[in-house]
Copies of this chain bind each other. A is one copy, B any other.
Amino acid sequence: MQQKKNTHKVDSKDENNCLVKTVHLNRVKKARDNAPPKKELEKLSNTFKALGDPTRLKIVMALSDEEMCVCDIAAYTGVSDSAVSHQLRRLKDLSIVKNRRAGQILYYSLDDNHITDIITIGHTHIKENK
């Protein structure tokens, strides 16, 4: 039988009325109430995923110093122009980078400084948890 203190799972219903087991149904409900909209969660996780690949992160960190063209980024990161171009497109779609054209050359730079801030905090995090 159910205890006074929440120390055991009990049957509950999820958002689609399917059976689930919960210990603190109030906490689960509260989490559901505060849950980000699905679209927002997707976009946010996509943004972090973009920084979650070493090559892309290296690109972004380099661009936080100075704008660079595709082939220089390729030379720096050690992957092909094509690979860099693919990654830049992805970063651009997420508004992480922008570009400007000068003749045949496209210069990429960060679109805003949020990303730099995020990286700075991430850096602090890993330093504190060596």
Contacts and interface: CB of A to CB of B under 8 A. Distances in A.
A111 B128 CA distance: 11
Interface residues of A, number: 69
A126 interface: yes
How many copies of the polypeptide does the oligomer hold? Answer: 2
Binding site secondary structure of chain A: helix
A44 to B, nearest CB: 5
A105 B7 contact: yes
Contacts of A104: 7
Interface in A78-95: 78, 94-95
Interface of A: 7, 9, 12, 14-15, 20-24, 27-28, 30-32, 34-36, 40-54, 56-58, 61-62, 65-66, 68-69, 71-72, 74-76, 78, 94-95, 102-105, 111-112, 114-115, 117-119, 121-126, 128-129
